[in-house]
Chains A and B, each alone.
Chain A
Amino acid sequence: MSGQGRSEMGQGGVPLDRHGLDRRSFMVRTAGGLAAMSLMPAVTMGRSASAQPSGVRVAVIGAGRQGRDILGEFARIPGASVTAVCDMNDRRLASSLRRAAGAEGHASVDDLMNAADTFDAVVVATPTPTHRAIGERAIASGKHVYLECPLAHTVEDCAALASAARSSDAVVAAGLQGRANPVYSLARGFFLSDSVRDCVSMRAQHNRKTSWRLPVRGGQSDAEVNWRLNPEVSTGLAGEWGTQQFDVFHWYTGRYPVAVRGWGSVRLHKDGRSIPDTINCILEFDDGTVLDYAATLANSYEDKYEVFYGTNAAIKLSWSHGWMFKEADAPTQGWEVYANRQQFHNDEGITLIAGATQLAEQGKLKEGVGLPNSSLWYALDDWVGAIGEGGSPATSVDEAARATAVGIAAHRSIMDDARVEVDLSAVS
């Protein structure tokens, strides 16, 4: 059994997703669906009953905000339970143990690994610069591993983790959440079909008004706690946030940018930091298309989303929701008659609903607007399912290494105020 979801290539060099869906097969399935009066192609919402593992015992390393969210999601993931939590900060550890009923606490990775018989799988949710050391150790232990993304803070570390993951017989997944998100899978099917046709441009943003600073407690230093603001190890907004979103474009187009030009500055949080709180990047692809990316810690308008502009339609994705905005001269497809729609100023979007056919049959199509779970839940559930099935997770560490390398390049361009060529040779 391989722990890595190495991408197979479909027709025309477009990588297949884990369900083997490429452009041609999508069109065949759509046509078949129309004959049966389906509304949309089927997308799996979570795991099938046959994929329920008998009980995966999970250790979570890192009990900060992400760790807290992970513990919360595991409470609702069938077939898995958290049996161990590890964090060097006493207060965070005590707090996290209140959230994981029955779990044992460990103050160090050494201590955790000495109790390796109490867990089958490990989630690494520590600060990005520590991912390599902890991730390599977890992979070497033979446990199933879930690595949070960005994968690491250097390309060298990304390559090392990808190499370690390839050598593992266990299921090693990376936390690029778009690939496990049912709405994103559904929208990708449309993107690969004639629904969007030729992609001419791409845009994404992530806006959130927050200082990105964490309180320093429990004897830790500011550099340890606020590593995102430490220029020695931070990958900035482009790395920490952009990596997740850049990967959506890599996954849909099957392409990686060849160069990036970024700009950034501290617009609001003038507390002595050098890591910009507001950035803009242009990512150039080899077919001439560009991805226009913006992120800020100074404004929260419209949160985060990605948009693909095609000659037949635009697709907008916002992690829990997705919409397709059709051009007036685009052909109408049969299922559109039944589709749910939402108005956005002067535009009307067709709501992309995962599991629409089943919901429509039950007369509950509108109830399907928006995903019932977070993207994090789907990513963790996918990993647990892959462990149960002995299959590949939605996101391989190789894919995460490449996406992170793009994020690192974008951050370097911002900090150096120069165009940077994206070199993926070390992670390909």
Chain B
Amino acid sequence: MGTRFEIVIAGCDADRGDWRAIAEDAMETVAHWHARLTRFERGSFVRWLSEQPAGLAVEVDRDFADLLDVCAQVWRSSGGALDVAGGRFGSILMDPAHSSVTMREPGVVLDFGAVAKGFVIDLITDDLRASGVTSAIVHGGTSTVRAIGGTPSGDAWRVQVGDGADAPIVELRDAALSVSRNDDGAPVSGHVIDHTAGKAASGAPLAAVLGASAAACDAWSTALIVTGTRPHAMDSQITSILPRPAGGWHIQGPGAHAVRLGAEVGAA
């Protein structure tokens, strides 16, 4: 995934072997999925899947099927703004009953760069919870983060979105947050591609998404860079944070109460 993952498990003795083992186990999961999902290495599962003949139903594991399902939901709800198949997601046939995937046309190349970090963070935070961790925060590349519980003092984990005095600060407690930027606000040369228009995305210079699933937040934050506004079909349980062109922020969704602006928090 080409980035650094960090795990902070709070309220434990760092030298105790079992906590270190739990964190190492999580990092093994990151490495395992990186090897599967990278499109840059010839032996990855994603490269292999992309090279399978069109029309062939390929069995996939349930975790991978879940990942594709998140991508499909956001692809549909965003009108194709998120497309992990380079504008050809519609040519992927998913069969949940048989846990299989069929490429209906040749040459479909998969790129999970917009959702992989969130997907893996969901997996490892679920594992951490199952291991008894009650207070932790995990991030991938500082752009996607998921919190388990609150801080040891009982407060929510506070994460600032972007910079500047008015930057939103999100309070996380058993929730995920993902932020996408379009090449530091230069939309013409941005790295996010709008596959519906076949050019660099220019909808928004920055988008943040707050919700339960890091994978969904990761996927939606990229989609909002393309759309620039919150689509009507967006999951109502997800909170979106978008800059207004004239200044200020447009915050919509059930988690809006957990978002403070920098100046507001500072005054408190």
Contact = CB atoms under 8 A, between A and B. Distances in A.
- A and B interact: yes
A384 to B, nearest CB: 16
Interface in B88-121: 98-100
A371 B43 CA distance: 8
B234 interface: no
B32 A68 contact: yes
B232 interface: no
Nearest to A217: B131
B61 A98 contact: yes
Nearest to A100: B61
A66 to B, nearest CB: 11
B130 interface: yes
A332 interface: no
Contact of B130 (A72, A91, A99, A210): A91
B264 interface: no
Interface string B113-142: 000000000000000001100000000000
Contact of B99 (A65, A102, A370): A102
B25 A75 contact: no
Nearest to B62: A98
B101 to A, nearest CB: 11
Interface in B14-49: 15-18, 20-22, 24-25, 28, 32, 35-36, 42-43, 45, 48
Given A98-B61, A210-B24, A76 B17 contact: no
A37 interface: no
Contact of B21 (A81, A102, A215, A377): A215
A69 interface: yes
Interface in B35-73: 35-36, 42-43, 45, 48, 59-63
A374 interface: yes
A372 B130 CA distance: 35
B24 A211 contact: yes
Given A75-B45, A211-B21, A213-B18, A65 B59 contact: no
B59 A81 contact: yes
Interface residues of A, number: 29
Contact of A211 (B17, B42, B43, B60): B17
Nearest to B32: A68
B43 A373 contact: yes
A72 B45 contact: yes
Contacts of A271: 15-17
A31 B227 CA distance: 62
A5 to B, nearest CB: 25
A213 B21 contact: yes
A69 B59 contact: no
A321 interface: no
Nearest to A377: B43
A216 B17 CA distance: 11
A69 B63 contact: no
B62 A101 contact: yes
B130 A217 contact: yes
A140 B100 CA distance: 35
Which of B17, B25, B59: most chain A CB closer than 10 A?
B17
A99 B45 contact: no
A72 B18 contact: no
Interface string B222-234: 0000000000000
Contacts of B25: 214-215
Contact of A65 (B28, B48, B98, B131): B28
Interface string A73-93: 001100001000000000100
A76 B59 CA distance: 10
A341 interface: no
A271 B14 CA distance: 11
Contacts of B17: 211, 213, 269, 271
Contacts of A71: 61
A150 B51 CA distance: 35
Interface string B2-16: 000000000000011
Contacts of B36: 72
Nearest to A368: B42
A72 B28 CA distance: 14
A336 to B, nearest CB: 25
Contacts of A269: 17
A215 B63 CA distance: 22
Contacts of A370: 42
Contacts of B22: 215
A120 to B, nearest CB: 18
Contacts of B130: 91, 217
A75 B61 contact: yes
Given A98-B62, A100-B61, A101-B62, A76 B99 contact: no
12 contacts: A75-B45, A76-B45, A76-B48, A101-B59, A101-B60, A101-B99, A102-B59, A102-B99, A213-B18, A215-B25, A215-B131, A271-B15
Given A72-B45, A100-B61, A102-B99, 10 more contacts: A75-B61, A99-B62, A101-B100, A210-B24, A211-B24, A213-B21, A213-B24, A215-B25, A269-B17, A271-B15
Interface of A: 65, 68-69, 71-72, 75-76, 81, 91, 98-102, 210-211, 213-217, 269, 271, 370-374, 377
